[in-house]
Every structure is written in C-alpha cells, then in structure tokens.
Amino acid sequence: MPSTTIKTKRYWRNLLGKPCVRSVSAIQPCPHATVRRATSAGLLFNICILILLCIYLEPLLANTPGCANAQNLIAENPATGHIVDTPEWWDNSLGTESVIVPGFAPITVTGTRIVPSGRVYDWLDGYFPASIVSKGGELARAMRLTATVHGTPVDFKPTQVTVTAHSETFAEIHATGEPIPHLRVEVDTRIEYDGVAMSTIRLIPTKPVDIDGLDFHVEVLDAHAMQVIGFKAGSIRPQKNRNDILQLPYTGEFINAIGLADGDRSFGWFADKAEGWIWNADTVTEVRRAGDVINLRQRLVGGKWRIEKPMTFKMNFLATPVKPLDPQWRGLRVMSGVATKDEARLGSHINPWWTSAFAYDTYPYLDLAPSAKQKIPLLTDQRAYPGLRANAALVQRDLERYGIHRLPYFSTHALSELDDNLLRFKSQWVVQPPRIYKDVVGPFKKVFEKPILTHRARSYSNYLLWQLNDVIGRLNIEGIYFDHGAPAMSCNPNNGGWQDSNGQWQPSLDILGLREYLKRLRVLFALHDKAGYIIIHNSNREVMPAYTFAYATLDGEQYRGGQVRDGDYLAAVSLDELRTRMSPDQYGIPVIWLPSAWTYHKGDKDWSGSPSQRMAYRRLMALALLHDTLDLPKGAHPSERRKLIAVLDDFGIAKAQFIGYWSEHNPIKVDNSSARVSTYIRENTHSYLAVVMNISNKPITARLVFDEQNTSVGGRIDVTTESGGEIRAEGGIPSFTLHIEPRDFQWVRIKRH
C-alpha cells in the first residue's frame, strides 16, 4: 500500500534540473530531467557520464518488462541443483491436509458430472466440460479441442471419459481417444473444491501427423453487462495506466489470464505460461462475440505443423462465484487506525494494517536472528518492535475489549534481505528482471532491499508457510494482511522463464503457485481453529483464480497518484470497468475498496470534517454500495460515515440479498439514463434498501418505480428517503422522485406491510 519509489543519489540531483523519482517496477529515465547550465568542461563531463550510464543500463532496460536478454539470466541465476543440508522446512507438507475451509462445500461426483460449491462441470462425452452451470444457469458450453486437417476442421472426441479418483476435496478425470488417425489425444483434468480445474493435454503420435492448426475453444454465454478482462505476463507489473478491458473482437498476442464477468458470475481461463505451444501464426489469443455467446479461442498450434513426437499443453479454467457469499461478511467491517470503542460501535471487526507484528518489515520472524541484530540499530529499530509477549497481549486486548481482530502486515511476494534464507536461496526464488522495493514500513526506519519473489518456487512457499504456521500459534492471530499480492512475472529459468517455439524467452506468472500458497495457509488457520481472514492487496490485477482461498481482496490503489481526485472515480474509469474489477458477488470473494482521496490531503488538518471530504467520501460510498463492496475507511468523513452505517445497520445490511443495477431481476427501476440503482432485499421483513447513484457530472432528477415482475406490492407501503424527495403512487405501484447531485447517491428504504 505505501508508495514504493527510489530517490536518486545527490549527484544526480545536482546533475539534473529537478529531483528525479523512479518507479521500482522498471529502470526508466525521468521524463522531466533537464541538464543544468554548466561550464563547457563540466557539461562535457556530464555528457560523458550520461553516455556511460546509458551503456550500463541498456541491458537492464532491454529486460524490462519482457525477457529480451533472458539468455543471460541462466548465467546470472544458476540452478542450485541438489540442496546439500536442506533446511527443516524445505519439503514440508504444511497445509496440504484434506480440509475443506469455511465457506466451501465438499465436491460431489455423479458419473462425469462434477459439482464444486454450487457449480456444475458436466463432461458428458468430451475432453472438456460440454456445459458449465453457475447460479442455476448455463455459463459456458462447447469447451473443446479442434484441429484443422488438410483444410477440414475436426472436433476432437474421446472414446473414453473416466473419473479416475475423487474425494470431498477434488476429482480427477481422464479422457482419451484417437480423434484422427495415428494421433492419440489424452486430457487429464483435476478439479478442486474451489472450482479451479487444471488440465494437461497430451498429443501422442504413433507416426508423423500433419495438421494445419490446433485450437482450444469455449463459448461463454453473453449478457448485457458482460465484460472481458485480460492480463499478460509481460505487462502485469505496472499497477497504473494499464487498459485490461478487452475491446472485442480481440485477435492478438497470447493473454495469460482472461476473465469474462457479468456482475453476477464469471468464467476464467488462465495459464501461467504457454510452454509447448507452437506460435507460427499471426495471432494466439482470439475473443469474439458471436450471437448469444463470446467465443474464446486459444491457438495451441497456430498453423501447419508436423507432429513427430509427443506434445504437452497445460491450461486451467474456473467458473465463479467460487462459493456463496454469506451476507454477514458486510457486517465484518474493516477499520483503519487504532481500535476503539467508537470503531466497535461502528461494526469494525478487522484491523488489517498491523506493521509491528513481526520483528522487522517483511521479515517472517517474531524474534530477530543474531545476524539480523547486527544490521539493525539498537536504539531505534530494535526497540521499535514491541516483542512477542506485548504483541500477543495486544491481540487479546483488542479482541476482548472491542471484538476487533488485528491482522499482521506482511508481503505476498517480498522478503527483506535481513533474512538469511533469502540470501541463501535467492537465485531460485527471485524474479527476473528484478523488481526491488527500497522502502521500509513504519515503525521501522532502516531500509533493506526487498526483492520480489515468485511462488512458482515451491520452496519459497514452503518457507513462508513454515514461518507463518509458527506465527499463527504463538501470536494467536485470526488472519493476515498481504501487500504485493499481484501474480508475479518472472523470466528466471529457475522459476518459470521459458522459450517459445521461436526460441524467444518468455515470462511466466505464478497464478497457480499463489493460489496453492493461499490455500495451504487457509488450511493452517483452520487447523489452528482460526477464522482465516486472509486479505490480499491486488489493485488492478484481478486475476481471480489466484485468490479463491483469500477471505477478501483489497483493490483501488491504482486510482491514486493523480488518477482520481475528490472521489470522482467515474471521471477516470468507466462503470463497466469498476464493476468488472470491484464487484464481489460475481467472484464469491469479498472486495474492500482502498480509497484515494486522503492521499491528496496528508497533513491537511482543515480537510477532516470538511465539505470536500464529505463529498469525496459520499462519491466513494456511492460506488461501493452500488457494487456491494466494503470500504477501508481511510480518510472517511467521520460524521457522514457514522450516519451511513446507522442506516445500513438499522436496515440489516448483513442479512440482505444484493441485486445489482445490471440485473434484470432488480425489483426497482429508474427512468433516468444517468442514474443507476442497486437493491438490498430482506425478504423475511419485506424490506428494500435502494441505492441510487447519479453517474453523470450534472445534477439529475430520477424517478424510481417498483418492477411488478420482480416483486409483489400491495397493502401499506412505508417509504423513508435520505432527502425527503417527492413520493407519490401511480396505479397502485409506488414511485419516488429523487434529486441527486453529480456523482452522489441517495438511499431509499421501503417496507411492505
């Protein structure tokens, strides 16, 4: 969450006109740099230095963010081979127990019909599911392999489809056949209880076979709110200024992760890498609308190819929501700052930013090792750590007094170079090109480099799980907050760097490794009889299959740094994009919105409680309530927050069903195209809470009316509006007129008797 920048040394501040700040995500020249006036001799000297600097940096620039010089990485990152004297944690199996964590249901198997937590994957007689159902309706269909042979398309069909193993936590399906002469095709798929399906495709020729191409296809049912979002390994690093929403048709280079989401459910296809694919055509990934479906095509073999030896391809898919969202999660509010009685009264239960829980920043120990003590100043940083006994007492105190859980702050992908194990196994764990954070999270002061690492290195995951298992028990915590949660890309040959069919080095992501790490950690919390509140920061990288075992994701930091001011998100990003990234109901994973307005007012005492702060907070909450997300109340307007929470709790927001503005089942409609309405419903009390937002930059008047097809009205109707807008009845169907300021919202509470 904190800004991670590296300031240049004093020499460069003197050499260049303005102080230069560089992002850690890439080594780039400062765009505003200007050379100061100098004597001719001094100018010549400076020019020479700049030329030498360019020569020195050129290889690094070439490696950012792709793998252009990855052949050099093999020499720079030699494989450690057989580890002599492996540490005790090296091959541990912590968290691999067959445990179903809270919120999920056991997987069930009937024939070749697999049911993971509310979805249905039905293979029938195919290599892949013929149909996928989510929330009671078909989501995807016709998942298949298709080859072109002598100019004729051939749909591959197996002769045998068998469930080879299954339990409450997984099922494995083997499909095999000879769809064209002399080519055996086998697909093995493992489906786990979160719904992630991992497929391995093998082509086994008995003699050379010529094909004109081989494609993977799936048809996803289209909807008016459906958007397609895609993430590429080579461009996922920068947090800001990326356009991930695909404009269809898309026909282009390989996309590692694709999500098709309509607000209520989604289908995701993903692969950490495309090793073994034959890229001999103009395109690899294609996404097109076709009638009532969106067709995703991945070209495993792009064009003419002779199959002379076995070929292997790996890919994965996921239908969501991964689990039903219990509405009670809305009542487990997240707080910012120090736990107090006031926060407890506001319903805060989780405090996710406890930076002094560990002995040092991104150092996974509750005690400092002797080698670390030698590097850390005694009077400042060593004493800044309260110690295990004091911290355990804080955990217990906040829970007993306020019902609030302290979550330690840690990193998903970084370790401090204080850590001896990082120094020992760095060549196996570190990503390439390197990404290094050079900051420190308070209360600590001394900066140590924090390189980004990848969970494709299983020993790295094993190490963290070994340490965190100890922390859960000794500190008695119910969860943990993870920063740096985006999937990591790496060209390092030790942990994912691979060569494509043209001999070019390519990066991998660690989607599966990150998911497995979070799954095992969630199991450890369950085995300790803890809730497992794992909150992971993934701003602008909503690769949802990686986060199926997280309690919640934290999103929104991408809108800082000038992207969004005064809470006016819709001036910078479309409602469709916000829904695709931030709406939790479609994924089954709660989302916490990280606000941006406060970052422009650090140290501004006049802003707290001001009309400007109130406006920014209301604009944020308009979008949060419209999409059923929680907010991290950093910079929230104090009285407005209390007033809004009182309304939500009095209604019973933690017991309500949510229906988004995009849904055809929404019982409340609005007549103004500049307004959107989402509805929270409590059927047992016949109550509705409508959140109506003005998405335009001008004041509007909007009339709300009940939709007879989606609700029954009759008897007495009690209406409470936030602003006391005009209320009238037309033909027995109540309607309400509201006046709403730009980007603001109003709530309307309705009760039928």
Answer whether 298's CB lies under 8 Å from 269's CB.
yes
Residue 627 phi, psi (nearest 5): -115, 5
Residues 531, 438 within the same domain = yes
Range of the domain at 717: 668-752
Query: DSSP string of 244-261?
Result: -BPPSSEEES--SEEEEE
Q: In terms of Cα–Cα distance, which of 751, 588, 587, 579 is closest to 678?
A: 579
Per-residue pLDDT tens for 469-514?
A: 999 999 999 999 999 999 999 999 999 999 999 999 999 999 999 9
The mean-pLDDT minimum among 233-242, 344-353, 577-586 falls in 233-242
Could you tell me which residues are beta bridge partners of residue 227?
A: 261
Helix axes 458-475, 420-429, angle to 10 degrees: 150
Could you tell me which residues are beta bridge partners of residue 679?
A: 659, 690
Residue 720 phi, psi (nearest 5): -125, 125
Answer whether 21's CB lies under 8 Å from 33's CB.
no
Q: How confident is the model at residue 710 (pLDDT cuts 50, 70, 90)?
A: low
Residues 363, 455 within the same domain = yes
Cβ neighbourhood burial of 529 (10 Å; 0-12, 13-18, 19+): exposed
In the chain, what percentage of residues exceed pLDDT 70? 86
Report the CATH number that the domain containing residue 709 is assigned in CATH.
2.60.40
**Total of domains in the chain:** 4
Report the CATH number that the domain containing residue 339 is assigned in CATH.
3.20.20.80
Asked if the structure places residue 67 within a domain, the reply is: no
Q: Read off the pLDDT of each residue in 230-234 and give the average, rounded to a whole number.
A: 96
**Cα→Cα distances 158→127, 312, 670, Å:** 6, 17, 51
Asked if the structure places residue 88 within a domain, the reply is: no
Residues 551, 431 within the same domain = yes
Q: Which residue type does 347 have? A: G
Residues 612, 555 within the same domain = yes
pLDDT at position 54 is 40
Report the CATH number that the domain containing residue 255 is assigned in CATH.
2.70.98.30
Answer whether 565's CB lies under 8 Å from 598's CB.
no
Q: How confident is the model at residue 602 (pLDDT cuts 50, 70, 90)?
A: confident
- 339-348's contacts with Cβ under 8 Å and 24+ in sequence apart are 339/398, 339/401, 339/402, 339/404, 339/406, 340/402, 341/401, 341/402, 343/402, 343/404, 344/401, 344/402, 344/403, 344/404, 346/641, 346/642, 346/645, 347/645, 347/649, 348/402, 348/404
Asked if the structure places residue 87 within a domain, the reply is: no
Q: Read off the pLDDT of each residue in 651-656 and give the average, rounded to a whole number.
A: 96
Q: In terms of Cα–Cα distance, which of 372, 278, 260 is closest to 319?
A: 260
Asked if the structure places residue 100 within a domain, the reply is: no
Handedness of CA 272, 277, 278, 281 (dihedral sign): negative
User: Could you say which of 320, 340, 359 is where a domain stops?
Assistant: 320
State the number of CA atoms in the 13 A half-sphere of 695 facing the CB.
19
E strand or H helix at 396: helix 388-402
Residues 340, 316 within the same domain = no
Tell me which of 42 and 753 has the higher pLDDT: 753
Q: pTM value?
A: 0.90
pLDDT at position 149 is 96
Query: DSSP string of 168-225?
Result: SSEEEEEEEEEEETTEEEEEEEEEETTS-EEEEEEEEESS-EEESEEEEEEEEE--TT
- β-strands 348-354, 405-411 pairing: parallel
Helices (H), 278-377: 341-345, 370-373
Q: Does residue 112 register a pLDDT over 50?
A: yes
Asked if the structure places residue 663 within a domain, the reply is: no
Q: Does residue 294 register a pLDDT over 90?
A: yes
Residues 725, 626 within the same domain = no
User: Could you say which of 281, 302, 320 is where a domain stops?
Assistant: 320
User: Could you say which of 631, 655, 679 is where a domain stops?
Assistant: 655
Q: Does residue 634 register a pLDDT over 80?
A: yes
Per-residue pLDDT tens for 21-78?
A: 223 333 233 333 322 333 444 545 554 444 444 433 333 333 335 686 655 655 555 5
Residues 315, 333 within the same domain = no
Per-residue pLDDT tens for 147-200?
A: 999 999 999 999 999 999 999 999 999 999 999 999 999 999 999 999 999 999
Whose structure tokens read 């798929």?
189
Distance CA 419, CA 365 (A): 9
Average confidence score pLDDT of the chain: 89
pLDDT at position 34 is 29
Answer whether 319's CB lies under 8 Å from 140's CB.
yes
Residues 142, 267 within the same domain = yes
**Cα→Cα distances 412→461, 533, 673, Å:** 10, 14, 42
Q: Read off the pLDDT of each residue in 385-409 and give the average, rounded to a whole number.
A: 97
In the chain, what percentage of residues exceed pLDDT 90? 80
Asked if the structure places residue 72 within a domain, the reply is: no
Q: How confident is the model at residue 709 (pLDDT cuts 50, 70, 90)?
A: low
Answer whether 332's CB lies under 8 Å from 208's CB.
no
Distance CA 316, CA 195 (A): 10
pLDDT at position 719 is 84
E strand or H helix at 513: helix 511-527
Q: Does residue 129 register a pLDDT over 70?
A: yes
Distance CA 367, CA 457 (A): 25
Task: State whether residue 455 is helix, strand or coil.
Answer: coil
Structure tokens at 356: 């002094």
Tell me which of 59 and 649 has the higher pLDDT: 649
Residues 453, 369 within the same domain = yes
Tell me which of 40 and 326 has the higher pLDDT: 326
pLDDT at position 50 is 44
- 151-162 per-residue burial string, b: 16 or more CB within 10 A, e: under 16: eeeeebbbeebe
Tell me which of 562 and 676 has the higher pLDDT: 676
C-alpha angle 559-563-564 in degrees, rounded to nearest 5? 75
Asked if the structure places residue 280 within a domain, the reply is: yes
Residues 542, 436 within the same domain = yes
Residues 259, 332 within the same domain = no
Residues 553, 587 within the same domain = yes
pLDDT at position 51 is 43
Helices (H), 32-183: 40-62, 71-76
Asked if the structure places residue 85 within a domain, the reply is: no
